[in-house]
Structure 1
Amino acid sequence: MGELAPTVAFLTGAPTQGRIGVGWRTLRGLLGRPAETPTLTVAEVDTHLGDVATTSGSGSAARRSELLSHLLARATSAEQDFLLRLLTGELRQGALEGVMIEAIATATGVPGDLVRRAVMLSGGLAETAAAAASGGREALLAFRLELGRPVRPMLASPAESLDQAVEGIAEPIVEYKLDGARIQVHRDGDEVHVYTRTLREVTRQVAELADLVRGLPCASVVLDGETLALTDDGRPRPFQETMSRFGSTREEQVKALLLRPYFFDCLHLDGTDLLDASLRERREALHRVAGEHVIPGEVAPSDPAALLESSLDAGHEGVMVKDPDTPYAAGRRGRAWLKVKPSHTLDLVVLAAEWGHGRRTGYLSNLHLGARDPDGGEPIMVGKTFKGLTDELLEWQTRRFPELQRGSDDWTVHLRPELVVEIELDGVQTSTRYPGGVALRFARVLRYRPDKEAADADTIDAVTAMLRG
């Protein structure tokens, strides 16, 4: 039982300690002659990585290297390869989550939906697997929303059109879709925590948001929403400017670039959990507590197209269409939430980059793009593009990409699949050129998405579904 949690964590490419602060090149340099026979246990590896992760202070880098060198020396060749990929993200953290949820359900005899809900509330597969194995259904039902522990976010699926999105929903909720950063805020009395889409805490970096939530008319609350920086005339600043706030605690930057929150969901209010309540009920609580900070939108608008046009005129991306009778559930839940944007965009993984020619000589330019394999395999290549890359992005890519390099030739640097980039395109077409069987039409880079991981990228199924358009 003691090895179950780290085993699940290892299989999904996520050590229980998270990132241990040692890079690819350092690990490669520590590799020595592998052991002839396997002697390592999962528990030993987990304990060893825990020691590495907690090592700090003077001489900590040398001590971490010593600990890792000792661990790798005890590993066989296959084990060394696994550990190297595990610690550098090569196992694509989270990509196998759906498979593991079903595996936990099958192994422990509990419903998959119950496992999925426990993962949403606990924040991790490893903790959920251990609970299911030790206490079954009752242990999973014991997971509750806890103030100060982030809930995995509910996500939207793309819609082919506004008409298709509202079809079949008696009273659809239509809201602005903002070009901001996802936030989840927890308040318990005067204690406030702010988390990103990936559940990373950023409270110190966004002090003005914490202060605002601290002033809301409630004793405790959990709100889901977006935040973005605005210009003096109230229009959204570029996404990159908003994201820059999440990496700095400098007071002068806070004063220069204030963030404005727009909340669209309420998961808890004054002692009452609302996850299982309908969106209709959650919105009532949201309006009571968030007031002017609720995202613009309407219930059953007489002219959804006018609301879409209003959002675009204000500088936003489009609209969200939501079913008012659905509960809150992590991930993409069918047609519960749909996003409508006038242009097609995909979040894809950067697989490689080619050295440029002409004006781009000396820069890593043409990107190889991959869609996520829903079965957890390697991302599936669906195209290339160099369009939309500014001089600033070219310089950044050329500095950053060698840090993620896992191979190269005379023309191309191949990367570990970690970076997500948002691509705008006219559509897709069938093609035998790429492994995905499709090719992107007139693809251009919109921006990188540091708020997303490779596990958040669009799947190959989402790409091929665009053929119908």
Structure 2
Amino acid sequence: MKFKDLTKYFEKLEQTSSRLSLIEILSELLKKTPGEEIDKISYLIQGRLAPFFVPLEIGMAEKTVAKAIAQAYGVTSDEVTRQFNSLGDMGLAAQKFAVKSKGTDITVNEIHKTLTQIAKTNGEGTVKKRQKLLSGLLSKMDPISAKHLIRIPLGNTRLGIGDPTVLDALATAKLGDKTKRKLLEGAYNKTSDLGLIAKTLWEKGLSGVEKLDVRVGSPIRSELCERLPSPEKVIEKMVEVDCQPKMDGFRIQIHKNKEEIRMFSRNLEEMTHMFPELIDASKKQIKAETAILDTEALAYNPDSEEFLPFQETTKRRRKHGIAEMAKTLPLKAFVFDILYKNGKSLIDEPLSKRMEILKETIGEDGVLIRTKNQIVKDSKTLTLLLEDAISKGLEGVVVKKLESKYEAGARNFNWVKLKRNSSGELNDTIDCVILGYITGRGKRIAFGAGALLVGLYDKKSDEFVTVSKIGTGLTDEEWREVHKRADRIRVEKRPARVNSLITPSVWIKPEIVIEVLADEITRSPIHTAGKSDSDPGYALRFPRLVSFRGFDKKAEDSTTVEELVEMYRLQGKK
């Protein structure tokens, strides 16, 4: 496929504000895509060159990209910078300078190959080499193609397409029905690789996709918890459970392949290089040639022998000074599940059997600690375990059905989190996604943002729906920081996957996840979370920001509308 034909579809996708239209446009594009390019186009739709877990990032600075544009079109980098400052989008600046260019018939494969070369270029003279390669591509672009090409190395494609939407389009294009997405979703949850799903579907059909399974080195999408209000409700619904303490740290999936250790976050990002102590511990403590472990890593103070709050743990997420920080703020990883061992996937095994295998695989506690678990059949014992966890400064407990499989990517009542004050008034936090901001007034004029429009993920419709505006809980510095982060992903109009009756001053791509505490959940006609033609939506009363969680959670992993409705019901509201 010619790259200019692909970018014509990108242009249509960027212009639409309807998710159904997104699926239709994508399906039309995918039907025309040959098998040798379907994986690459699947990645480019996501603004990437490879799956999320492959650390193949171009990450070019705006200054370098501006120089590449200048070199391609015979202007100065100052002229490019002025256009960028005026338009607020380097892609639009490139489009303006490419106005007289007719472009060539360069293919998607050729574009992908050169962009991959740019991403892998390192060593002496890296900046100039990358600049030259990008400039060479730009010289072959028509204006529309130049706009969309230049956004890729900047990580800002502005298409706003989620994984479920791509899966809907793949199902429509190849299977003739988007409702067959679930047939693809199971394989995606095991492999986390849309390109692999697409290529397998194109080359081997649905039967080939169904054969895709867990692989060491490819993260499995994490299973998530539902909520229940009390130990009594847990036992009533689940009868007999495996109870484990709930930690508040990094969710890390550890993959061992002989001496090679890789680690992935819940949002599929590779984090191996950040945690050298976990690499060493995994080599020593995991009694298996190959294994995949599900863990929660927390910062640990060796002097006081205490586990530290999440805000301290987040300091370990860094690119520089890693070895020094590992000494001053070491991590312990609590291993609570095993998903693969010695060539065999364990996700279809019952939890009780996985716990037995885990006990054999992780022996003595060290840096890796096997999470203590206890079988519970009555609410009194569960209450004592919950209170014990809280007294130790933990969030609460997680209870799991003994015979449950590991359902990758699922959130259901096989796993339930039970936290302090889960019943009565809303004392549990909610993970929201920032959808836009309202510009500041008075003192906050200097901060840029004065209030945040936040929402939740509606899994059924693959949309983000509004639940509140937040204007408290941030320091002056945090207001400046959120404005800075938001402006990096601002868009000109409401994203197609955002459903809102409120129009903020600035829309942004739904990417930043924040932890929010509120007094209670109420019904609201102006918010779209849970709203229908006949019923009002749901909203948060007196919300305030607790922390930023965007780096360890994808927007789609935020609190769902279903969870919010259940929390509202548990408040005793009618």
TM-score range, shorter chain: 0.7 to 0.9
Distance 1:407 1:229, change over 3 A: same
Q: Is the deviation greater in 286-295 or in 305-314? A: 286-295
CA shift digits 1:371-409 (9 cap, x unpaired): 22436665222211122213442342244333233359x
Equivalent residues in 2 for 1:65-80, closer than 5 Å: 65-67=134-136, 69-70=138-139, 73=142, 75=144
The answer on whether the counterparts of 1:235 and 1:314 sit within 8 Å (CA) in structure 2 is no
Percent identity reads 26
Aligned counterpart, 2:26: none
CA shift digits 1:101-142 (9 cap, x unpaired): 754883599976653332233321221122133223552354
CA shift digits 1:122-168 (9 cap, x unpaired): 32122112213322355235434333332222222233444333433
Aligned counterpart, 1:237: 308
The answer on whether the counterparts of 2:148 and 2:157 sit within 8 Å (CA) in structure 1 is no
Q: Is the deviation greater in 88-97 or in 119-128? A: 88-97
> Does residue 3 of the first structure (1) align with residue 104 of the second (2)?
no
2:542 aligned to which of 442, 449, 457: 442
The answer on whether the counterparts of 1:236 and 1:316 sit within 8 Å (CA) in structure 2 is no
Distance 1:245 1:92, change over 3 A: farther
Aligned residues between the structures: 467
- Give the drift of 1:454: 1.9
Distance 1:222 1:77, change over 3 A: closer
* Structure 1 unmatched runs, 5+: none
The answer on whether the counterparts of 2:521 and 2:539 sit within 8 Å (CA) in structure 1 is yes
AA partner of residue 546 (structure 2): L
Query: How far, CA to CA, are the matches of 1:109 and 1:350 in structure 2?
Result: 28
> Does residue 418 of the first structure (1) align with residue 488 of the second (2)?
no
Query: How far, CA to CA, are the matches of 1:338 and 1:312 in structure 2?
Result: 16
Aligned counterpart, 2:418: 340
Query: How far, CA to CA, are the matches of 1:324 and 1:137 in structure 2?
Result: 32
Query: How far, CA to CA, are the matches of 1:109 and 1:356 in structure 2?
Result: 42
Query: How far, CA to CA, are the matches of 1:245 and 1:37 in structure 2?
Result: 46
- Give the drift of 1:226: 0.3
> Does residue 21 of the first structure (1) align with residue 97 of the second (2)?
no
CA shift digits 1:400-421 (9 cap, x unpaired): 333233359xx94432222111
Aligned counterpart, 2:488: 403
Query: How far, CA to CA, are the matches of 2:50 and 2:566 in structure 1?
Result: 35
1:433 aligned to which of 508, 526, 529: 526
2:337 aligned to which of 265, 274, 284: 265
Query: How far, CA to CA, are the matches of 2:91 and 2:48 in structure 1?
Result: 17
1:247 alignment partner, SS class: coil
Equivalent residues in 2 for 1:277-426, closer than 5 Å: 277-291=349-363, 292=365, 293-300=369-376, 302=378, 303-341=381-419, 342=421, 343-357=427-441, 360-363=444-447, 364-374=449-459, 379-406=464-491, 412-426=505-519
- Give the drift of 1:280: 0.7
CA shift digits 1:81-110 (9 cap, x unpaired): 998998435414435256357548835999
- Give the drift of 1:428: 1.7
1:215 alignment partner, SS class: helix
Query: How far, CA to CA, are the matches of 2:144 and 2:396 in structure 1?
Result: 52
- Give the drift of 1:6: 3.4
- Give the drift of 1:243: 2.0
Query: How far, CA to CA, are the matches of 1:375 and 1:197 in structure 2?
Result: 21
Distance 1:113 1:374, change over 3 A: closer
1:229 alignment partner, SS class: strand
Query: How far, CA to CA, are the matches of 2:188 and 2:213 in structure 1?
Result: 11
Query: How far, CA to CA, are the matches of 2:145 and 2:263 in structure 1?
Result: 42
The answer on whether the counterparts of 1:218 and 1:289 sit within 8 Å (CA) in structure 2 is yes
The answer on whether the counterparts of 2:151 and 2:157 sit within 8 Å (CA) in structure 1 is no
Aligned counterpart, 2:559: 458
2:240 alignment partner, SS class: coil
> Does residue 274 of the first structure (1) align with residue 346 of the second (2)?
yes
- Give the drift of 1:9: 3.8
- Give the drift of 1:309: 1.2
The answer on whether the counterparts of 1:48 and 1:67 sit within 8 Å (CA) in structure 2 is no
1:351 alignment partner, SS class: strand
For the aligned residues, what is the CA RMSD?
3.6
The answer on whether the counterparts of 1:34 and 1:80 sit within 8 Å (CA) in structure 2 is no
AA partner of residue 328 (structure 1): Y
Compute the TM-score of the two structures, normalised by the length of structure 1.
0.86
Distance 1:238 1:390, change over 3 A: farther
1:434 alignment partner, SS class: coil
**Between Structure 1 and Structure 2, whose CA radius of gyration is higher?**
2
Compute the TM-score of the two structures, normalised by the length of structure 2.
0.71
* Structure 2 unmatched runs, 5+: 1-34, 63-87, 422-426, 494-503, 530-536
1:147 alignment partner, SS class: coil
2:215 alignment partner, SS class: coil
- Give the drift of 1:337: 1.3
Query: How far, CA to CA, are the matches of 2:186 and 2:293 in structure 1?
Result: 18
Query: How far, CA to CA, are the matches of 1:401 and 1:131 in structure 2?
Result: 37
1:88 aligned to which of 147, 151, 157: 157
1:193 alignment partner, SS class: strand
Distance 1:467 1:103, change over 3 A: farther
- Give the drift of 1:196: 1.4
1:423 alignment partner, SS class: strand
Query: How far, CA to CA, are the matches of 2:146 and 2:440 in structure 1?
Result: 37
Distance 1:413 1:136, change over 3 A: closer
Equivalent residues in 2 for 1:50-69, closer than 5 Å: 50=116, 52-54=118-120, 57-63=126-132, 65-67=134-136, 69=138
- Give the drift of 1:256: 0.2
1:325 alignment partner, SS class: coil
AA partner of residue 4 (structure 1): I
Aligned counterpart, 2:83: none
AA partner of residue 344 (structure 1): D
1:260 alignment partner, SS class: strand
Equivalent residues in 2 for 1:240-251, closer than 5 Å: 240-250=311-321, 251=323
Distance 1:267 1:130, change over 3 A: same
Equivalent residues in 2 for 1:167-206, closer than 5 Å: 167-206=236-275
The answer on whether the counterparts of 1:348 and 1:420 sit within 8 Å (CA) in structure 2 is yes
AA partner of residue 371 (structure 1): L
Q: Is the deviation greater in 214-223 or in 78-87? A: 78-87
- Give the drift of 1:447: 0.8
